[in-house]
Structure formats: C-alpha cells, structure tokens
Amino acid sequence: MKNTVPLLLLLGSMSCGEKEAVLTDPATKERYKDELFSSFTKSTVQFDTQPDYHGKPTALSADLYQPTGDKATNRAVVVYVHGGGFIGGTRDGSNIPYLCEELSKRGYVVASIDYRVGVVDASPMAKGKAQIRAIQDLKSFVRYAKFNAASARIDVNKIFITGSSAGGATVLATAYLAYSERPTYMDTTGVGSLEGRGNLNGSNAAVKAVYSLWGAVSDTTWIQRGDVPVGCIQSVDDPCIPWNYGPSSCNVPGYGSYGSHAISTKAKNSGIYSSLHGYSSSEHDYGFTFPHIDTTIAKMTDFLYPLAK
C-alpha cells in the first residue's frame, strides 16, 4: 500500500538543535568521512502499511536523521535495519539512535526503519516467511525514498543499506538474493515475492552497497561478480552467527549460515569491493556496545566514504 506522506517531512518535525548547521572546521574535514556537523535533526515518517504474520494491517515508519540546517543536495543515504531474530526489536532500540546521529553528523541522511516481525510458530518455514517480510519492507522503503528523492534532496544512486544480526541478514539478502536462489525454507506462499507490494511506484529497490553488522547469508553463491560492494564487521568468536560457516543459534534452525569471513572471501574472489573487520568477543552484539560502537561507526564510514563522496 503506497503511503502518501512525503519524505519532505524529514526537513521538519522533531529535532535536536534547531540552529543553522554548524560546520566543525570544514576546511580540514570531508563529508561522509569526518564529523562535519555539530548537530542533527530527527523526524518520523510512515512509509507503508502491510499485513503482519496474522494478516493484521501494520503501519511501517522510519526515523529520519539529517545534519541540522544542511543545504546540500544529492545527499547520500544510509538505511539501517534493526536486529531481533525476526521476532522482535525496534527501530529505536539499543544504541541505534546513536549510530544514526553519528552518521548524520558526517553528512548522511539516515533512516532507521520498521519492518514486520513475528512468526506463527517455531518452524523454519515460519522464520523464512518472516525474513521475506523484512526484505519486502526494506525494499518498500528504498522505493519510497527514491520516489521522494527531489523533496528530500537525496541521491537515488547513493543509497546504502546496513543492519545488525537479523537486520544484517536482511540487508545482505536484499542486496544479493535472487528469487530463484531462495533456500527451501523461504517459501513465498501467502507472502508474495521478495519485492513485496509496498510503494510500487515505478522506482526500483537497487542499492549502492551493503554493510553487515554480524549478519549472515544462507549461501555465498548469492554473491556474484558484478554485484554491489559489501562490508562486514563481526566477532570471530560470535556465539550466535558463525564467523565462517556453521550452524547458527540465531538463524533458521537446522540450516547452516555463512558469516562475515565467508561473505568477504566470496566477494573478494568475485572481484567485488569489500571490507572485513573482525575482533574477539563472546558477545554477539559487542560491536554495538559502548565504547566499541565507535569502532563500528569508524569501520563503516571508512568503507562507505569512497562510494559516497
């Protein structure tokens, strides 16, 4: 269902610091790489309404962050997808606002989006349908953003997607998974195609690159020469998602997952621009805790900068 609320709402509403943009020593700092602005503006927009796993209409919203008073046009966009095992999580949970704020201070327009969560039972098929709904909702937002690009002053060719855990799996599948490559547990019966039905306004859902925070794919054959760049960050000791390949306690039961090292290796062997950062921790989301989230942001911006500038 196409939502008619314009993305122009991003330019007003709730904010942090209603002043002209304050540039922090712009002569020596670069947009998309350094913290160029001292404050950000936040607004919320509803971008779609779709049925949840019980068939109940569910409003989908996004929190939008941008540098306060920014006058630039054709700005790069980062879309963040939260984690939660496809059964929980929220767009403003954990340290998500901090991540979005820091990216916006570097000049990005940042969106943290809702997607439909929940499963009818604990079966692999139910989990697969939940992941399909997440992919559909992310694609819906990308199309929505592109349709409203002129009013929001964003560059449709510089939309980047990132997410953590289940969100990481969602952005990776959105970037690389073709309908014909779906694993057996991703049955589209009753949920529709990977494109979904949201914001079918003539815009496509193609993105410039993907950055995964401790996410995974079901098969690295999804990634092929000519595909979009990928960056990954994850603990080599992740107890939830394997660093390379193995069973996953956080993914679909009974199915193996390929983690950051395997993804990066396949991308590199396919001639795709890629980045990989590993660290040692027994916490799945260690990279989202303070002060380690600052390293996550730094690695992400290092990867995105040459693509966004």
| pLDDT tens-digit readout, 119-138 | 999 999 999 999 999 999 99
Does the pLDDT at position 34 exceed 80?
Answer: yes
7-11, 187-191, 201-205, 235-239: range with lowest mean pLDDT: 7-11
Q: Which distant-in-sequence residues (6+ apart) come within 8 Å of 117 by Cβ?
A: 84, 86, 87, 88, 89, 130, 134
pLDDT at 16 exceeding the cut of 80: no
Collect all residues with Cβ–Cβ distance below 8 Å to 269 and sequence separation of at least 6: none
Contacts of 171 (CB under 8 A, 6+ apart): 81, 138, 161, 162, 163, 210, 211, 212, 215
3-class DSSP state of 161: strand
In a domain, 1, yes or no: no
pLDDT computed for residue 254 by the predictor: 76
Residue range 46-75: average pLDDT? 98
pLDDT score, position 26: 65
My answer on whether omega of the bond before 291 falls inside 30° of 0, hence cis, is yes
144: helix, coil or strand? helix
CA distance 96 to 90: 9
Q: CB–CB of 135/80 below 8 Å?
A: no
| pLDDT score at 3 | 38
Closest CA to 132 of 184, 187, 175: 187
- Please state the rounded mean pLDDT for residues 196-202: 96
pLDDT over 90, % of the chain = 88
Instruction: Give the CATH number of the domain where residue 205 resides.
Output: 3.40.50.1820
Backbone angles phi, psi at 212, to 5 degrees: -100, 130
Q: What is the mean pLDDT of the chain?
A: 93
Indicate the helix (H) or strand (E) that contains 109: strand 109-113
pLDDT at 22: 58
Instruction: Report the C-alpha gap between 285 and 215 in whole angstroms.
Output: 10
Q: What is the pLDDT of residue 249?
A: 81
251's CB contacts (< 8 A; 6+ apart) are: 127, 169, 216, 218, 241, 257
Q: Give the HSE-up count for residue 230: Cα atoms under 13 Å, Cβ half-sphere.
A: 38
Mean pLDDT calculated for residue range 165-192: 97
What type of residue sits at position 184?
T
What per-residue confidence (pLDDT) applies to 23? Answer: 63
Residues in contact with 98: Cβ distance below 8 Å, sequence separation at least 6, in sequence order: 293
Do β-strands 274-279 and 230-235 pair in parallel, antiparallel, or remain unpaired? parallel
pLDDT tens digits along 261-303: 999 999 999 999 999 999 999 999 999 999 999 999 999 999 9
Bridge partners for 256 per DSSP: 247
Among 17-26, 27-36, 94-103, 294-303, the minimum mean pLDDT is found in 17-26
pLDDT above 70 (res 19)? no
Q: How far apart are CA 68 and CA 38, in angstroms?
A: 8
Residue 51: pLDDT over 90: yes
| 285 within a domain of the structure (yes/no) | yes
Write down the pLDDT at residue 28: 81
Q: Which domain holds residue 244?
A: 7-308
pLDDT at 30 exceeding the cut of 80: yes
Model pLDDT, residue 250: 82
Residue 105 covered by a domain: yes
Residue 21 banded pLDDT, cuts 50, 70, 90 = low
b (16+ CB within 10 A) / e for 196-211: bebbeeebebebbbbb
Q: What is the mean pLDDT of the segment spanning 91-117?
A: 98
Give me the number of domains the chain comprises: 1
Q: Average pLDDT of 71-99? A: 98
| Angstrom distance (rounded) from CA 106 to CA 303 | 14
| 2: in domain | no
In this structure, the number of other CB atoms found within 10 A of the CB of residue 191 comes to: 22
**Distance (Å, whole) CA 261 – CA 244:** 5
Residue closest to 170 by CA, chosen among 86, 46, 271, 280: 86
Number of C-beta neighbours around residue 16 at 10 A: 13
273 inside domain: yes
CA angle 139, 144, 148 (to 5 degrees): 150
